[in-house]
């Protein structure tokens, strides 16, 4: 059985502990979720295998 997208959104928010949101908030969040889904890694992006490097953006001593 398919779940309507808006129900899925409400369910995901409820799973995160967010309930009782108004319809305008839900509409805004639906759009934000769509933008986040549009996020994609470009070709050639290396795998995330170096966690230590993730939180040290360019500010490295060897620069």
Contact positions toward another protein, by CB under 8 A? 9, 12-13, 16-18, 20-21, 24-25, 28-29, 32-33, 35-36, 38-39, 41-42, 44-48, 50, 53-60, 63
Q: Please give the Cα distance from 38 to 43 (Å, whole number).
A: 15
Nearer to another protein, 2 or 21 (CB): 21
Q: How far is the CB of 48 from another protein (least distance, A)?
A: 4
Q: How far is the CB of 1 from another protein (least distance, A)?
A: 22
In this structure, which long-range contacts are made by residues 7-15, counting pairs with CB atoms below 8 Å and at least 24 apart in sequence?
9/33
Task: Tell me how far CA of residue 4 lies from CA of 7, 8, 11, in angstroms.
Answer: 5, 6, 10
């Amino acid at each position: 059985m398919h779940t309507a997208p808006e129900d899925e959104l409400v369910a995901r928010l409820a799973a995160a502990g967010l309930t009782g949101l108004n319809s305008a908030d839900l509409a805004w969040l639906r759009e934000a979720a769509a933008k986040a889904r549009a996020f994609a890694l470009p070709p050639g992006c290396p795998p995330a295998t170096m966690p230590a490097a993730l939180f040290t953006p360019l500010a490295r001593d060897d620069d």
